[in-house]
Amino acid sequence: WWHKLKSGLSRTSTALGGGIGAIFTKRRLDEATLEDLEDILIQADLGLATAARITATLRRDRFDKEISDTEVRAVLAAEVEKVLAPVARPLVLPPSDLPRVVLVVGVNGSGKTTTIGKLAMKLGREGRKVTLAAGDTFRAAAVEQLKIWGARTGARVIAGEPGADAAGLAYDALVAARAAGSDVLIVDTAGRLQNRAELMAELEKVVRVLKKQDPTAPHDVILTLDATTGQNAINQVEIFGKVAGVTGLVMTKLDGTARGGILVAIADTFGLPVHYIGVGEGVDDLEPFDAGDFARAIAG
């Protein structure tokens, strides 16, 4: 898995590590070099605050001393790990007689359905009974996709007619999950950001209706973020945070993007738990989020 993580994040680490290598060729650390470094960190989407902290650390400890790119990368990895360590938290499913209700939100195309499928596989392998609710009722393709994941993973899928009321479907799915003795109900949702008021009304209704069955539901509200969208992901955390009360994050598509640094900016800005990262389209391409591994993988 280290190899997979490392190769998945290779474009981010090439951008970061390559940039650092180009400016630090065994020379004294001066102000100009620190400014160049700060630019590279900002361009790699790490966020202004993180970039400023890393350069401040180097200025304090190493100013006017000889420093190699390897040493700079080590400082970078250590500082990034400090930001990420508090948010690296696995999804925990405490033992319960009632299904754990996990709502998955995010804009269309951010990897909701795929992440749900990967999660269903993981949980199934751990011996949990999983029910999936095809709550993105307006997109026929999303419903079909979820059914395919159900067939692949052995999870039962509750789906309605095209255009069915999402809240009604979530309610039915929770009833069905209880009847089947499921440990987990994962609810897919619509991700239309074009009409924010409509989306908000729909998500609120889903939550309200789930609470009629179980006042403690939903237990987790996971936001999927597409790493390739870079800074845009920050807006999405803000919007879905307000609309849906996000409790944790999964960042997808970290493979094949140079913008993996955005996860650091998001951790620094919001402090929300990061449960998993997506590093490919396959069923096994969902890695538990580890701060140290991630930091070392992007620092190159």
Contact pick of 10, 55, 114, 137 for ligand GDP (by CB under 6 A): 114
Looking only at the bridges linking them, the beta strands covering 286-288 and 274-278 are: antiparallel
Contact pick of 106, 135, 260, 273 for ligand GDP (by CB under 6 A): 106
Residue 287 is a binding residue for ligand GDP (CB under 6 A):
no
User: In 10 A of CB 70, how many CB atoms?
Assistant: 13
Contact pick of 17, 47, 191, 273 for ligand GDP (by CB under 6 A): 191
Residue 288 is a binding residue for ligand GDP (CB under 6 A):
no
Q: Are 290 and 2 in contact (CB under 8 A)?
A: no
Tokens of 261: 């640094």
The residue (of 45 and 255) whose beta carbon lies closer to ligand GDP is 255
The residue (of 29 and 133) whose beta carbon lies closer to ligand GDP is 133
Residue 256 is a binding residue for ligand GDP (CB under 6 A):
yes
Binding mask 50-89 for ligand GDP (x = CB under 6 A): ----------------------------------------
Q: Tell me the C-alpha distance between 45 and 10, whole Å.
A: 15
Amino acid at 166: A
- Backbone torsions φ then ψ of 202, nearest 5 degrees: -65, -45
Residue 112 is a binding residue for ligand GDP (CB under 6 A):
yes
Contact pick of 33, 55, 153, 252 for ligand GDP (by CB under 6 A): 252
- Backbone torsions φ then ψ of 244, nearest 5 degrees: -125, 0
Q: Tell me the C-alpha distance between 45 and 50, whole Å.
A: 10
Q: Provide the 8-state DSSP code for 99.
A: P
Q: List, as residue ranges, the binding site.
A: 106-113, 188-192, 252-255
